[in-house]
Chains A and B, each alone.
Chain A
Amino acid sequence: MTDEQGTSGAVLVVGGGISGLTAALETAEVGNDVFLIEKNATFGGRVAQLNEYFPKMCPPSCGLEINFKRIRDNRRIRTYSMTTVKAVTGGPGNYEVTLETAPRYVNSNCTACGDCAAACTDEIDNDFNFGMNKSKAAYLPHEMAFPRRYVIDKNALSTAGAEAVKAACKYNAVDLDMQVVTCTINVSSIIWATGWVPYDATKMENLNFGKSQSIVTNMMMERMAAPSGPTGGKILRPGDNKEIESIAFVQCAGSRDENHLEYCSHVCCMATFKHMTYVREQYPDAKIYVFYIDLRTPGKYEKFRAVRMADKNATFIKGKVADITVNTDGSVTVIAENALTAEKISQKVDMAVLATGMQPSFSLQAPPADLQMDANGFVISEPDKAMISAGCAKKAADVVTCTQSSTAAALKAIQVSRR
């Protein structure tokens, strides 16, 4: 292998979602060393929660599998799960970064046999499924989890549960005394691919999320449609498991709104058209109502929209939803004004889906380094400082834009050690 280009400049990639994975792999496959860290117990980020991607309606785990394989096959990438940045000192070309790894309570002896989960008597809300079901307190986050190693929520373990889990493991992998570990690494540049969180739907009081289980978010729809999700892939109204006869999609739930997220979250229109597909596959006759401001399905996505707008049982209403009210029979009523006819609409439906937008992670939690951010918490890329942003940490974007921008971020990171 040639190294005359000085390809030894190591790069830290913060965030192991599709953007961080892409940035890390594209960098390492040029020949640079990469540290890839992820705060959760498994890599894959938000896309791992998606059932299918638009517009191909293909499973995200297909691309993740290839990326995990690329990581396994590449000796230049070191991965750290449950790890965050604590501090950054130094400057471009020579950053010293302190990493902190939270205790997993399962050590590297774990074979992922699953005996601990089988024996565990304690349950926790399943965050991966947005709390729509429970998982054991000793669990594998999901079946595609990489690394394939269990994790224990120690706080949720009862004394008996802790004993059961420890006793069940034949490989001495359960270590409930595990402590936080810190380490320092030296890198020439840092790529911030810290992603996004779904906008907190309870903040829109008029939409009454949380007041009725019939009001769900678009990300919850993804889990409901997933074979690995809480309902085994069946879209049912949470709470009473009612089959869906009518459903409303509420676009721009929090996005394009001065009181919430002033920007457009980019993906929600296409996500709703995708969700219409999920619904239609399971309920050929269900009535679908979509309340929107603009339908942002540009370019090649227009064909995807056209097919779904031709659906005879789908109604599109240009108008921002003013209120959702909760009815005693479990249904909800969506209230809006049709912007074209000025007519006031009250539509009763079995279930309402809020197309909540994406909020950059660092808008909720201050970054652990001196990063320049815009008013909405997106990280402004500063290649001169070797602080480079990628994916949804940089701007609200769909997956293909994120993987593209992460590839570009890889080059900006590599350039630092070649100046």
Chain B
Amino acid sequence: MDKNYCAYICAGCGIGDALDLEALSEVVTGEMSMDCKVHDCLCGAEGRAFIEADVKEGVNTVVVGACSPRVMANEFDFGKDKITVRANLREQVIWTEVKPAEGEEPHAEAAEFLAEAAADYMRMACTRAQKTELAEPYQLEVTNKIILVMGGGLAGLTAAKESAAAGYDVILVEKEDNLGGKALGWRKSFPTKAPWTDLEENPIQALVAEVVNNSRITVKTATEVARITGSPGDFGISFKAAGTKTEWDAPAKVTVDEQDLINKGEKEDPNEGLQKYTEINSEATKVGSVVLATGWKPADVSEYEHLGHGKLTNVVTNAEFEKISKLGKVPATVAFVQSPGGKDNDNDFPYCNSVTSMVALKQAQYVCEDNVDGRAFILYQHMRTPGSMELFYKNTQNNDGIFLTKGCVTQVEENGGGLRVAVEDTLLGEDITIDVDMVVLAAGMEPVTLHENSINLAYRQGPAFNDLDLFDGYADSHFICFPYETRRTGVYACGGVRKAETMEEAVDDATGAALKAIQCIESADRGVSVHPRSGDATYPEFFMQRCTQCKRCTEECPFGALDDDDNGTPLPNPTRCRRCGTCMGACPERIIGFKDYNIDLIGSMVKAVEVPEDDDDRLRIVVFVCENDAYPAIDMAGMKRLGLSHMVRFIPVRCLGSVNMAWIRDALSAGMDGAMLLGCTYGDDYQCHFVKGSEIANKRMENIGDTLSTLGLEPERCVANQIAITDYDKIPKIINDFVDEIVEMGPNPFKGF
């Protein structure tokens, strides 16, 4: 678009009192060649009308020097076809001015320092406005809106049914010959409604019938997904008969080094006989998104030798007991062992969540139902019946045939024809032995992703979800606020593969996953990103002519959005992309950028900062700030009037992963004295919304130290820090201590060259 600029500076909220706005306007008109107007209160009705009058006259690119872009977003929204850039003069300039300590005089040049900061922020905003282009959403030629549901158990059936009820066509694939999954073997279900006391009929048969009769749902039994190619709105699914191998099976990930060895004949090619991952299967079925509901497997508990599973005939798991109960009568006296640890620990069996507590309560009832004088003993460390399931627990306690006690089960052994269970530290205050016909161990529910890829993506980064060891192998989200986040856009997990869940929980979970699958398709159709930059219509564009096939972007993308061809040239999949810009940060050739966020744009903002020479009171330090957490924290520091050194200039970035080291080199070669990255915590409890961005940025920073050394600069001039959004009280120390260190080091020796 042909841009028609105007800048506006707000005098409200103390900005006009703290700054000489006439002088500030002159910076804009003089240096930036942009019209500039001052108003007493831009966000008020009058102020907005003031800007809108110009917009009517043709201004389409508006620079607003006022409060933080985090506030008054609607007030300064002049329509989708207009560009607005904000300069944060309030929170991050006048509110963060360092105030003199009590009894001290302000710095003689305090007013100048503030004016210089404000001028730099206006320069940066004007530069940004000049470099920003309107987004042009990426549109697939055809957005396929079919949802693929993998797994025909309770969760998969529910996801299929719920998607269909919202008007979407579904393909449901199940590797067994019948739909229904493990729930087919359940005799009864837990209560799902008030008064939460009574077992319910297993709903699975009715659900299977409903799905089979639904005209929107195509069921493929005895079928598996060989591989998935493509991206949201345009996935290609290669199906195969269950248990077979085909040329379209998903290839294993082969690293660059491994490929070298394979080429030299020093390593066997794990993908021998398979089609390359980039190959298009003309017979593939197109779908828009995927729900992964491939479920769980009963855990093997034979490792707990003192409990005798696999050794003693009548020691069974809860899953085995359920089958027995479904087929016929269960024995009359049964002990249910909830915790395997004896006296060593009081954990439940692994992979239990709270499900196995409730399974024991259910199965104990079978014992009493099937036997007039049935007696069930539930031996637990901690009964886990959250929420209203407590009422189910309480009701079970009222059953005369069911005995519950806390206790450590130390041994199960044969005793005549039966079994003898030794229990210590019981609520009865003594060690006891119980003679029973059968012992049921509360084995956990291991997700299938613990043992296999399950998802079978034909992606450059490999066929499986990454780093599931963080979640004990479950295909779970790392985010408390965002439970359906996965690192593979358009694939949403639910049911036992995501968490050990009750049937009620699995139904709800599958409904949520179906929503996310639908939402992803609709977002792809609109050409916008999904979470966390939901609605973002920009996407990374590559200037391929200058690509050197270094593969850093394909390797580092946290979401596996980039494939590559035989030469290593990236093959972008924009609908997989989350728009974090990690690829842009990775690229040494600086050929990746967004319409409103690119190397040139941020680099030009860095260069727009005025760097005075020969003035130790005016060193310049650029801080690249994660806009998700660190930037709001700085705003809050401003709201609390915490003083931050006048020598720093903050530049918001989408994620630290998007910070290209070129910006830091540019800053230092422009004479700036230091650079800092301020972003989210990384490590096992990472808070980075893009999973890896902060961690990758820190790695890059380690390397830049070497580069600086070769230039004769102290590596300590560049640092990275992690803060949480609530750490606003720590920001002055982080910033000001770093400034002090830079002052100590002295000015950048390249200043002025």
Contact = CB atoms under 8 A, between A and B. Distances in A.
Interface of A: 1-2, 5-7, 18, 22, 25-26, 29-31, 51, 53, 56-67, 69-70, 72-74, 108-109, 111-114, 143-144, 148, 170-171, 226-228, 232-233, 256, 262-266, 294-300, 302, 306, 318, 339-342, 374-376, 378, 380, 395-397, 399-400, 403-405, 407-408, 410-412, 414-415, 418-419
B129 to A, nearest CB: 19
B378 to A, nearest CB: 12
Contacts of A63: 479-482
Interface of B: 12-14, 41, 43-45, 67, 70-74, 162, 165-167, 193-195, 345-348, 351-354, 357, 380, 382-391, 394, 406, 425-427, 429, 471-472, 476, 479-484, 499-500, 508-509, 511-512, 514-516, 518-519, 522-523, 525-526, 530-532, 534-536, 628-629, 632, 636, 639-640, 681, 685, 687, 689, 724-729
B178 to A, nearest CB: 26
16 contacts: A26-B519, A60-B481, A70-B534, A73-B535, A113-B13, A114-B639, A262-B391, A265-B387, A266-B386, A266-B387, A299-B499, A302-B348, A341-B429, A396-B387, A400-B480, A410-B512
A59 B726 contact: yes
A227 B580 CA distance: 30
B388 A399 contact: no
A374 B388 contact: yes
A147 to B, nearest CB: 8
Q: At the interface, is chain B mostly helix, strand, loop or mixed?
A: loop
Q: At the interface, is chain A mostly helix, strand, loop or mixed?
A: loop
A101 B468 CA distance: 46
B107 to A, nearest CB: 24
B580 to A, nearest CB: 13
A73 B534 contact: yes
Given A30-B522, A264-B389, 17 more contacts: A2-B526, A18-B481, A58-B724, A61-B632, A61-B726, A63-B481, A73-B73, A109-B41, A263-B391, A298-B353, A340-B425, A375-B195, A395-B387, A403-B480, A405-B508, A408-B515, A418-B165
Given A62-B725, A403-B481, A414-B515, A111 B387 contact: no
A107 B374 CA distance: 70
B636 to A, nearest CB: 5
A408 B511 contact: yes
A31 B166 CA distance: 13
B13 A228 contact: no
Contacts of B483: 400, 403-404, 407
Contacts of A300: 471-472, 476
A61 B384 contact: no
Contacts of B484: 404, 407
Nearest to A60: B481
A296 B509 contact: no
Report, nearest first, the 8 A-B pairs whose CB atoms are least far apart: A63-B481, A407-B512, A299-B353, A374-B194, A408-B511, A411-B515, A408-B512, A113-B13
A18 B514 CA distance: 20
Contacts of A266: 386-387
B352 A298 contact: yes
Nearest to A59: B726
A148 B388 contact: no
A411 B639 contact: no
A414 B508 contact: no
A295 B353 CA distance: 13
Contacts of B523: 29
A107 to B, nearest CB: 10
Given A111-B12, A408-B508, A414 B166 contact: yes
A171 B481 contact: no
A65 B516 CA distance: 20
Contact of B725 (A59, A109, A148, A263): A59
Contacts of A228: 726
Given A375-B195, A380-B193, A264 B390 contact: yes
Contact of B629 (A65, A73, A109, A376): A65
A415 B166 contact: yes
Contacts of A399: 480-481
Contacts of B519: 26, 29-30
Contacts of B725: 59, 61-62, 65
A376 B194 CA distance: 9
A375 B508 contact: no
A231 B531 CA distance: 36
B165 A29 contact: no
A306 B518 CA distance: 39
A269 to B, nearest CB: 9
B136 to A, nearest CB: 15
